Amino acid sequence: MSPLPIELSTMNIKLFNYALGSIWRKKSKNSILFFGLIFSLTILISSLFVSFSIKGMILENIEAMPEITVQRTIGGRLETIPVERVWEIAKLPGVSTVSPRVWGYYFFSHRRLKNEGVNFTLIGLDLYQDEYKESLKSLTYSRFKSLEDGELLLGKRAMETIRLGYFEDFFDFYTPKNEKIRTPIGAVVENLEGFEDSGMMILPQTKVRTILGMSEDEATDIALHVPNEEEINTISAKISELYPDSRTITKADLFSAYNALFDYKSGLFLALFLTSSFALFLLIFEKSSGLGTHERQEIGILRALGWKISDIIGVKFAEHAVLVLTAFFTSTVLSYIYVFLLNAPILRDLFYSKNELSPPFELVPHISIVMILGIGVLVAVLYLALVLIPIWRSSIVDPSESVR
């Protein structure tokens, strides 16, 4: 009873080998089709990779932020907030921890930089208080001695940027009074990613206050940790009543704002998607609109030799499945190299609304495998279905008519 499966297996291998040979025999036409598919799919998949990466990086940063951030505004502009407000806010029911934060932007100007300068984010760490963000908390513990000595910590990309200004072992800050503060570089932190790696400079709070011209009783804002999400809006309202000049920003507000901004930028992705899909549709339409004389004659000869319709469709299915799947996996690899190794030149700037003075950053892989595979399956099914319809129609025609 075993010879039948062996014969079927041998026959399937022979049919597959014939399909591979058919690809080679029509290499000119298949090459155009293959590279057209690669071009269209690479644009589409690269757009998805950039979209997922930037959105993932932004949402990860927001996820690590405090539940409520309290700022002070005067006349619609941000001002420093008195540190003494921490004690009153800490008394509110539902508030777990309250921390004054000291941070700000520092413009590093140099003619060798793009636009002759970049904005770094100065972060002041309190060495004797837990930070709201886990990465900053672990950094305080691991680099306590450097921070205690007033040394500068920064990421690899930020270090590459200041090297353009000929800084290696130290960095010169200037206060609003134009006083120079020479700061030794304590360490280049290896485990920072994305925006933290490229745009963050970390110092003890006292030194950041001096650089930004802030007094000891001032902070940039106040961070609140609220364990119960249902109490966040109530606490925000109480803070606004307590301090009318304050503005409270919740994590949900940030998620909503950045999602809206990102969805707006994703309109460009939609344009790329439609362009890519249209090009792909043209390729499929050209292929499925009818078979050439040579292909119809080939099918007629195979039918005359005794091939079943199912065998012919199976061979053609294998032939085009190899083409479309190879194109899909090639496009995925090319897209990964373009986005995450070459950092997606041109395409990245279409998705990220960055300031011209923002330091450069590297895209971090955030890939939705399910969506990428879903696109691959959709393209393959659509393509194969449209291609096999004219093949089936030609197969059911009398062989004598096909070979004329």
**80 in any annotated domain:** yes
Has residue 278 got a pLDDT over 80?
Answer: no
Q: Is the pLDDT of residue 183 over 90?
A: yes
Average pLDDT, the chain: 78
> Does 296 share its domain with 161?
no
Q: Return the minimum-mean-pLDDT range out of 177-191, 268-282, 319-333, 340-354.
A: 268-282
**Per-residue pLDDT at 1 exceeds 50:** no
Q: Is residue 187, in this structure, part of any structural domain at all?
A: yes
For the residues 92-113, what does the mean pLDDT come to?
Answer: 86
At 141 the pLDDT is: 77
How far is C-alpha 211 from the chain's CA centre?
33
Residue 360's pLDDT is: 56
Q: What is the pLDDT of residue 233?
A: 92
> Is residue 169 included in any domain, yes or no?
yes
User: Is 40 a member of any domain?
Assistant: yes
Domain span holding position 40: 3-60+258-402
The rounded Cα 20 to chain-centroid distance in angstroms is 37
Pull the structure tokens for residue 280: 């792909």
Residue 32 lies in a domain: yes
Q: Looking at the structure, tell me whether residues 344 and 302 fall in a common domain.
A: yes
Same domain for 274 and 381: yes
Max alpha carbon distance in the chain (Å)? 96
| 381 domain-assigned | yes
Residue 174, domain member (yes or no)? yes
Please check whether residue 96 is in contact with residue 255, taking contact to mean a CB–CB distance below 8 angstroms: no
The candidate with the shortest Cα–Cα distance to 291, out of 281, 300, 279, 282, is 300
The domain boundary, picked from 225, 242, 272, lies at: 225
Q: Which residue intervals of 64-193 are DSSP H helices?
A: 85-90, 134-142, 144-148, 156-163
For residue 277, give the nearest of 266, 285, 289, 267 by alpha carbon: 285
Residue 189: pLDDT over 90: no
Expressed in angstroms, the distance from the first to the final Cα of the chain is 43
pLDDT over 90 percentage in the chain: 26
Tell me: do 212 and 325 sit in the same domain: no
User: What are 232-246's pLDDT values in tens digits?
Assistant: 999 999 999 999 999
Answer yes or no: do 78 and 216 share one domain: yes
C-beta of residue 300 within 8 angstroms of C-beta of residue 399: yes
pLDDT of residue 4: 41
Same domain, 32 and 77: no
Same domain, 393 and 303: yes
Phi, psi for residue 108 in degrees, rounded to 5: -100, 110
Between 355 and 327, the higher pLDDT residue: 327
- In terms of domains, do 178 and 29 share one? no
Strand, coil or helix: 246: strand
What is each CA distance from 377 to 36, 285, 325, 364, in whole angstroms? 18, 18, 9, 25
Mark whether 46 and 76 lie in a shared domain. no
| 23 and 131 housed in the same domain | no
Q: What is the mean pLDDT of residues 77-99?
A: 92
Domain-terminating residue out of 225, 244, 274:
225
Q: Are residues 293 and 347 in the same domain?
A: yes
pLDDT of residue 357: 43
Domain count, the chain: 2
Same domain, 42 and 176: no
What type of residue sits at position 315? V
Predicted TM-score of the model (pTM): 0.68
* Predicted pLDDT at 313: 75
